[in-house]
Amino acid sequence: MIIDLPSTTTTQVNTSLVELRETGGAIALGRVLTLVVSAADSDPVEEAIEAANDVSREHPARVIVLVRGARNAAARLDGQIRIGGDAGASEVIVLRLYGQLANQAPSVVVPLLLPDAPIVAWWPFVGPKSPATDPLGRLAQRRITDSAAENAPVRTLRTRGRSYVAGDTDLAWPRLTHWRAQLVSALDLPPYEEVLSASVTGEGDSPSTELLAGWLAEYLGVPVKRVRTTQAQGIVSVSLRRHSGKVVLHRPDGQTGTLTQPEQPTRHVGLQRRETRDCLAEELRRLDPDEVYQAALHGLRRLSGRTTRSTTDASGDSAGRSAGGSDKKSADGKGSSR
């Protein structure tokens, strides 16, 4: 069910929610958090709403979607309430802000927040450089951005890393969860040797590739080379050098990875790129600060070889050449930066 409330107020939106609950019992009260989604009128807002609806089946929430319209228009608030099949297991409130209201998002949000429930702010498209100091970010316990949606993903990730505050996170981080799991499992198999050095190969402007290299640098405490590839494949391969040889996890097609290591048979593992809804659901499973993500950001400072371009072969080794600048994002803007 979708109920439109043109030229409305937050009081009228709240009144409509109460009436729907009292007359139809359409809105359940078992919400575990308030998810505030911030977007611009030019963004594909429905994609973000669909992802939030899917996630709500695991994390029932009140979803408040703030859409900033033309700032040169007359001040107006257009509201919409979605419940039932149009809202997953949540209640979705879409608020379109025009004119001066476009700069007053926190004032519009506060009357609609669930009492005594955690607040999570999510910028699925372009987000603030410092989420914790953003007016919406100040309201939230957790702040989720997506650097892969930015014009300069890696540069944006590093900028946010410098202004990191406990509670910040980025969807580039859960996109590499499966890579981290496979690498940890590989090092748990014989021969049990220390890692001497590592290299991470991936798309030039892939923030997930950058974070994976930072995570390895921080936790292994060894030199890690970040190799940029001209292939638009997101993360392509990871190579860990030990005395007995290399542990190589290589994903040439964005779907299936091949794990090779000394004294072990070659294994094929699933490394499909994760959907936004899966990454968002993972982030909402914890509302406390993510110390491992913070450590990965810290590890970015330890990387070497960041200006190398290469074409990676099936073994995970690379033939590089020095080049200035950075690779551009893929055409879809975010799908391959994982």
Instruction: Give the DSSP per-residue string, 138-207.
Output: GG-SEEEE-GGGSSSHHHHHHHHHHT--TTEEETTTGGGHHHHHHHHHHHTSSS-----EEEEEEETT-H
CA angle, 43 then 3 then 52, to 5° = 45
Is there a domain that residue 330 lies in?
Answer: no
Task: Give the residue from 148, 170, 192 where a domain finishes.
Answer: 170
Whole-angstrom distance between the N-terminal and C-terminal Cα of the chain? 35
Q: Which amino acid is at 140?
A: A
With 0-12 CB in 10 A as exposed, 13-18 as middle and 19+ as buried, what is 82? buried
Short-list 72, 8, 80, 5, CA closest to 49: 80
Q: Looking at the structure, tell me whether residues 155 and 293 fall in a common domain.
A: no
Q: Looking at the structure, tell me whether residues 198 and 298 fall in a common domain.
A: yes
pLDDT of the residue at 329: 37
Instruction: Name the token pair of 205.
Output: 């402007």
CA angle, 299 then 277 then 332, to 5° = 75
Is there a domain that residue 234 lies in?
Answer: yes
Q: Looking at the structure, tell me whether residues 191 and 141 fall in a common domain.
A: no
Is there a domain that residue 329 lies in?
Answer: no
**Torsion, CA 34, CA 90, CA 174, CA 145, rounded to 10:** -50
Mean pLDDT computed over 151-171: 97
Instruction: Name the token pair of 48.
Output: 């973000």
Task: Give the residue from 145, 170, 195 where a domain finishes.
Answer: 170
| CA gap 156, 269 in Å, rounded | 31
Q: Domain limits at 84?
A: 2-170
Is there a domain that residue 328 lies in?
Answer: no
Short-list 162, 169, 153, CA closest to 333: 153
For 184-226, how does the pLDDT look when each residue is reduced to its tens digit (9 = 90+)?
999 988 888 999 999 999 999 999 999 999 999 999 999 999 9
The CATH number of the domain holding residue 141 is 3.40.50
Q: Looking at the structure, tell me whether residues 196 and 52 fall in a common domain.
A: no
Is there a domain that residue 334 lies in?
Answer: no
Q: Looking at the structure, tell me whether residues 237 and 103 fall in a common domain.
A: no
Q: Looking at the structure, tell me whether residues 152 and 238 fall in a common domain.
A: no
Is the alpha carbon torsion for 17, 18, 23, 24 positive or negative? positive
Q: What is the domain count for the chain?
A: 2
Q: Looking at the structure, tell me whether residues 213 and 311 fall in a common domain.
A: yes
CB contact at 8 A, 169 and 142: yes
Short-list 38, 36, 46, 234, CA closest to 126: 38
Please report which confidence band the pLDDT of residue 44 belongs to, taking 50, 70 and 90 as the band edges.
Answer: very high
- Coil, strand or helix at 48: helix
Please report which confidence band the pLDDT of residue 1 belongs to, taking 50, 70 and 90 as the band edges.
Answer: confident
Is there a domain that residue 332 lies in?
Answer: no
Least confident of 104-108, 245-249, 307-311: 307-311
Q: Looking at the structure, tell me whether residues 157 and 139 fall in a common domain.
A: yes
Is there a domain that residue 337 lies in?
Answer: no
Q: Looking at the structure, tell me whether residues 200 and 117 fall in a common domain.
A: no
In the chain, DSSP finds a helix count (H) and a strand count (E) of 8, 16
Q: Looking at the structure, tell me whether residues 25 and 38 fall in a common domain.
A: yes
For 218-263, how does the pLDDT look when each residue is reduced to its tens digit (9 = 90+)?
999 999 999 998 766 799 999 999 999 999 999 988 889 999 998 8
> How many CA atoms are closer than 13 Å to the CA of 108, on its beta-carbon side?
28
Q: Looking at the structure, tell me whether residues 268 and 143 fall in a common domain.
A: no
Q: Looking at the structure, tell me whether residues 59 and 147 fall in a common domain.
A: yes
pLDDT of the residue at 316: 44
| CA gap 94, 217 in Å, rounded | 42
Is there a domain that residue 87 lies in?
Answer: yes
